Amino acid sequence: MATIEVQRQVLPILGNPNQGARFYNPDLPSSEPFVPGHRTCAGCGPSIQYRMTSKAAGDNTILVGPTGCMYVANSSYLCTPYNVPWAHTQIGSAGSFTAGVAAAYEAMIRKGKWKGAYPNIICEAGDGSASDIGLASISGALYRNHDCLIICYDNEQYANTGIQASSRTPYGGMTTFSPPGPEVPEGKKLYPKDLARMMAAGHPHCYVATASVGYPIDLMNKVRKGLNHKGASYLMVYTPCQKGFVYETPRSIDLGRLVVECGLYPMWEWNPEKREFDYSFRPQSMRPVAEYLKLQGRFGHLHAQHIANLQQFANEQWQMMGIELPEALIKAADVKNQTNMAAAAEAEQVALTV
Ligand SMILES: Cc1ncc(C[n+]2csc(CCOP(=O)(O)OP(=O)(O)O)c2C)c(N)n1
Ligand code: SF4
Ligand SMILES: [Mg+2]
């Protein structure tokens, strides 16, 4: 039997990628594969990201969702925001399930059992799934180079089970599993796993990038680049969670920009053809980390030393991207130039009583 060539979709790249959320781009598609009608919290970063991502992908898309908020809050009985085919998978099998969907479509198209273009196959795994529980299955799908896009929507914690620390939770981030106390006043001692870089290093044939909900056009372009790439792609996207980060709900996009402007979420792309990193993304300003931290209750317990440690971490990220540090950021890494968060003294008093 003659085999049929697989027809792939090619999505155009949008202009003005470094614009904020308030910038209107007339080239944005009108299709809405992710519509209202779900139970995520107001201002939920992962939901905002889901809408942007699926909009960039368009209607010929299949979504895969391992267990997490984007499954539990979005797939209540008889109520769903997904306007395209969507399937839930066990939290550890995000990669193997997605690989199966991709392999099945390749085979069905070649055998003439599926007429039409190959769909955009996107897996949306939380950081608990992508960085911890499902890491092996995702690595397998990337390694075997199935034609799909795997996204880690990174809200830096296990949100759905009540805000526990994941390997993506930042140093100093308070969660129910990393509470500050007399022994560990910073709450979380470990720095976050460098997940996206691990994926680029271990699977250099894949397109890999980091993105943030604070830069919607850039995010949508990276989704399209990943889908246009023939083979596997991986995106790690900063998606704030107001319940776990404890901030005012209209601030989600602001945090998405601040985290980049503070150097805590470096934005880059891995080019699989040239086999090199592209560090050319430049935020509109560079700020001290304290400006990002003070908007969130999860950092309210930090002492001056912890803030200086985080500034040192951010400075190393800027330097890794080849960016020269302004004097103010070098000084901000010195504990003498930092003060405790306002809530730290009170938190310490409470901690001493438990
Ligand atoms: C094997 C397994 N372990 C634990 C759980 C419980 N569980 C359900 S959702 C969830 C949180 C997942 O966190 P993440 O992937 O970061 O997604 P988020 O909830 O943050 O959206 C956990 C641990 C599960 N469903 N399956
Ligand atoms: S807990 Fe966080 S990730 Fe989950 S629905 Fe609420 S804001 Fe979104
Ligand atoms: Mg999470």
CATH number for the domain including 249? 3.40.50.970
Is 299 part of a structural domain of the chain? no
Is 34 part of a structural domain of the chain? no
Neighbours of 121 (CB within 10 A): 23
Q: What is the mean pLDDT of each run of 10 residues along the chain (354 residues)?
A: 81 80 78 90 96 96 97 86 95 98 96 92 98 98 98 98 98 97 95 98 98 95 97 98 95 96 98 98 94 96 97 98 97 96 74 64
Judge if pTM exceeds 0.85: yes
Q: Is 71 in the pocket of ligand 1 (CB under 6 A)?
A: no
Is 96 part of a structural domain of the chain? yes
Q: What is the pLDDT of residue 36?
A: 87
**Cβ atoms of 77 and 32 closer than 8 Å:** no
Q: Rounded to whole angstroms, what are the CA distances from 9 to 12, 224, 272?
A: 10, 10, 19
CA 185 to chain centre: 27
Ligand 1, atom 2, lies closest to the CA of: 91
Measuring from each residue's beta carbon to the nearest atom of ligand 2, which residues come in under 6 Å?
Answer: 40-41, 44, 46, 69, 73, 155, 159-160, 241-244
Is 334 part of a structural domain of the chain? no
State the Rg of the chain over Cα.
21
User: Which atom of ligand 1 is found nearest the CA of 46?
Assistant: 21
Q: Residue 252 and residue 34: Cα distance in Å, rounded?
A: 18
Q: Is 127 in the pocket of ligand 1 (CB under 6 A)?
A: yes
Distance 159 CA to ligand 3 centre (A): 5
Q: How many domains does the chain have?
A: 1
The residues, ordered by sequence, that sit 6+ positions from 262 with a Cβ below 8 Å of its Cβ are: 286, 287, 288, 289, 291, 292, 314
Distance 128 CA to ligand 1 centre (A): 6
Distance 75 CA to ligand 1 centre (A): 15
Distance 337 CA to ligand 2 centre (A): 35
Is 328 part of a structural domain of the chain? no
Distance 81 CA to ligand 2 centre (A): 15
Is 196 part of a structural domain of the chain? yes
Domain membership of residue 250 as a residue range: 45-285
Is 33 part of a structural domain of the chain? no
Q: What is the pLDDT of residue 350?
A: 65
Q: State the DSSP code for 105.
A: H
Q: What is the pLDDT of residue 22?
A: 65
Q: Is 47 in the pocket of ligand 1 (CB under 6 A)?
A: no
Is 245 part of a structural domain of the chain? yes
Q: What is the pLDDT of residue 20?
A: 65
For the CA of 124, the nearest ligand: 1
Q: What is the pLDDT of residue 351?
A: 62
